[in-house]
Amino acid sequence: MINRISVRNKLFGLAGLLGLTGLVMGLVIHASLSPLNDEFESYADQTRYRAGFVDVIQTEFGYGGAIHAFKNYVLRGQEKYVGRFKDAYVNINQSLDGYMYLPDTSGEEKAAIADIRSVLQQYHDGLAVTQRMVAEGAAIADIDKAVKVSDGPAVAGIKLLAEHTQDRAMAAKTAFAETVGVAGMRVNATLIACLILAVVVIVAVALAITRPLQRLVAGFDELAGGDADLSRRLPVHGTDELARISAGFNGFCETVAGTVAQVQSASTQLSGATRQMNEASASAQDAIERQRAELEQVVTAMNEMTLSFEEVSRHATGASEAAAAVDRDTALGRQVVETNVSYINAVASEVDRVGNVIVELEKDSDSIGSVLDVIRGIAEQTNLLALNAAIEAARAGDQGRGFAVVADEVRTLAQRTQESTEEIQNMIESLQSASRQAVSAMAEGKEKVRATVDEAGKVRETLTKITQGINAMRDLNTQIATSAQQQNHVAREMDQNLTNVAGMMEQTSASAAHAAQISAELDTLASQMNAQVGAYRT
């Protein structure tokens, strides 16, 4: 029955059964653990909330809390303790309210809460009295008597709340442990049952799959071993994949038996073909060797031509670089000529300006000569007047003696003026003569400057023509170098192609030799295959 189910469906069924088993286990575990959640939440409520409230009440009521702050205020009278008491008062009341409204709070716990709240309220009421007495300056002993409060009920109430909280926690812990034990027993029982069922199903499916596989393995081992009986057949039971594999194995043996017969015939034909291919490979290898020798001569000629092209390219490049250097030097010389022309033009302009200044100086000298003529005439008239005055003074006798002295001084001054005028006249004439010579020299220098500018222009034109010729020569050299480089590149490509062809011919020769070797190996393999195929019994 099970052999009629496919292996795929067997495996799917096994997986489905395992999944169903896991689902059942999950449901059982969920059903068993759900009460644990409720128990744990109850345990957490009983422990966390109640213990938290009790802890706040103990902390805020005892040392460092409300009572301690109240006592410190009575002793020290500082307002900061009033604030601390009020904060503790609020926190204690909030915790008492929280504990009061927890579920399952007993009447005894409520009575304890009332006692704690009563004592706390007495302290709260006494704080107002204490503040008033501190303000009035009352003694500490009087204040203590006036507000004396008994802490016993509150201490007993806090102790009772702590004990009840601990008892509730222990009870919840015990109930939780019992629930966990019951859930563990259920889970273990379900797990054992599921494991037994899974083992039974897995063993059944494994036997249904492994037994046919063992028969297949035995058949293939016999084929792979020394027994090459292709007439062997496996039993076929059922309709599953393993049964179909057994049927396929039987068909495979029949097909291989036919193939072996065909291989025996083909191997005989292969032996004859390999011998013919071996002879053709030997002939091709001889022809390739002859072509390779001829190709090596062509490669040598191409290498020599490539070296010639490289030499031409180097010379053309050197000529182009030399032309470029001459062009740079010519450009530099032209720049120097341009600079000199600029300087010469500046000198010519300066010569013109100096010539104009000297001409003006000559004109001013002529003007000064006219002024000297006037001064000379005035000096002569002054001399005549002084002479006349001396004559008149002589006629006047003693009365004109003083006037004679003045006339004599005036005449002396007129003579000195005439002498100075003569000296100035001589100097002006010398200056005018030098100015005329300078004007003449300036004119000659101006002409020479203009001639120099003209010659510099001719030099510039000549340098320009030289530059143009050098540029043309450099372009030609560049073209020659480019052409040589292109020819060199083409020659190198041809050399490379010939080298590649030589390499290909070597590869072809090697391939021909390898083909001959393979032909021999094929002949050997054909013989071996005939021997091996002959071992199969059909």
Q: Quick one: pLDDT at residue 114? A: 93
Q: At how many degrees (to 10) do helices 107-136 and 79-100 cross?
A: 170
Q: Quick one: pLDDT at residue 160? A: 93
Tokens coding 144: 């203590």
Residue limits of CATH 1.10.287.950 in the chain: 256-533
Of 18-27, 142-151, 308-317, the one with minimum mean pLDDT is 308-317
Q: Is the separation of the CB atoms in 197 and 18 below 8 Å? A: no
> What dotted CATH number matches 2-200?
1.20.120.1730
Tokens coding 46: 């009983």
Residues 125, 133: Cα–Cα separation, whole Å: 13
Q: Which residues pair with 229 in a beta bridge?
A: 537
Summarize the confidence of residues 364-372 as an average pLDDT: 72
- Which one-letter DSSP state was computed for residue 138? -
Q: Locate the DSSP E strands across 407-524.
A: none
Residue pLDDT, tens place only, 96-119: 998 988 888 889 999 999 999 998
Q: Please give the full DSSP string across 24-87, using - where no structure is assigned.
A: HHHHHHHHHHHHHHHHHHHHHIIIIIHHHHHHHHHHHHSTTSHHHHHHHHHHH--HHHHHHHHH
Residue limits of CATH 1.20.120.1730 in the chain: 2-200
Residue with tokens 């009087």: 142
For 256-533, the fitting CATH number among 1.10.287.950, 1.10.287.130, 1.20.1600.10, 1.20.1050.10 is 1.10.287.950
Q: Quick one: pLDDT at residue 196? A: 92
Nearest Cα to Cα of residue 513 among 285, 187, 236, 311: 285
| Segment holding 19, helix H or strand E | helix 7-44
Q: Is the separation of the CB atoms in 468 and 330 below 8 Å? A: no
Residues 270, 278: Cα–Cα separation, whole Å: 12
Residues 119, 518: Cα–Cα separation, whole Å: 115
- Which one-letter DSSP state was computed for residue 6? -
Residue pLDDT, tens place only, 163-217: 988 888 888 788 778 877 877 888 888 889 988 988 888 888 788 788 777 777 7
Between 399 and 496, whose confidence is greater? 496
User: Is the sign of the CA dihedral 311, 316, 321, 325 positive or negative?
Assistant: positive
User: Hey, is 237 helix, strand or coil?
Assistant: coil
